[in-house]
Amino acid sequence: MAVRPTLQLGNPLLRQAAQPIDDVRSAEVQALLADLWDTLYDFRQRHGWGRALSAPVIGVPLRAIVVDFQEQQLVLINPRFERWSREQEFVYESCITFSAIWGAVYRPTRVTVVALDADGLERRYEAAGPLARLMQHEIDHLDGLVWLDREPDLASICTTDEYRRQQDQGQIDQA
């Protein structure tokens, strides 16, 4: 178990499609999951935010994600979308790999995600709102995508300070 460095935008490893995991219970995959948790909690302790981490963000090209959202700890291995809502929302996001800027992107409001858990059992998640967006953001990383790729309005991009200023003034809703 170890805290691993998180990659920064521009690193080509962030742009590769990650490979499916064959054996969730292998020692290598269990060690990867432990590293993802350690790295996520270390990041959160140092920065005060961070709710999910995908393996490509620590440079490992495998389809694994950990999520810590409202006291729920989820492991998503080989996740796939089973359903998306037609309804979308346009909400600000940031990313561990380039945390200095924020931008609003369209995401389906509700998704159904099927994934294996840390024991290799298939689970189905019906997620809405922030959790749905978090899952979509992380699954994008498995496909070599970041939120900038989905940005329809470059003029909406903010620095963190400007994002906070507009939030304080009620010009943008809390993400």
Where on the chain is the footprint of Zn ion (CB under 5 A)?
95
Give backbone dihedrals phi and psi of 101, rounded to 5 degrees, phi first: -130, 155
CB of 141 to Zn ion, least distance (A): 6
Q: From the candidates 71, 87, 126, 138, give the one annotated as an active-site residue.
A: 138
CA angle 10, 50, 73 (to 5 degrees): 125
List Cα–Cα distances, 157 to 101, 117, 138, in angstroms. Answer: 7, 35, 20
Active site residue 28: no
Count of residues for the chain? 175
Nearest residue by C-beta to Zn ion?
Answer: 95
Q: Tell the smallest beta-carbon distance from residue 39 to Zn ion (Å).
A: 13
Give min distance, CB of 36 to Zn ion, in A: 13
The nearer residue to Zn ion, 57 or 116, going by C-beta atoms, is 57
Q: How far apart are CA 23 and CA 12, in angstroms?
A: 26
- Judged by beta carbon, residue 8 or residue 73, the one nearer Zn ion is 8
Least distance to Zn ion from the beta carbon of 99, Å?
A: 9
Output 10 or 170, the one with its CB closest to Zn ion: 10
| CB of 30 or CB of 151, closer to Zn ion | 151
Q: CA 171 → CA 129, 139, 168, distances in Å?
A: 19, 29, 8
Distances (CA, A) of 123 to 45, 66, 74, 117, 120: 29, 14, 10, 7, 9
Active site positions, annotated: 138
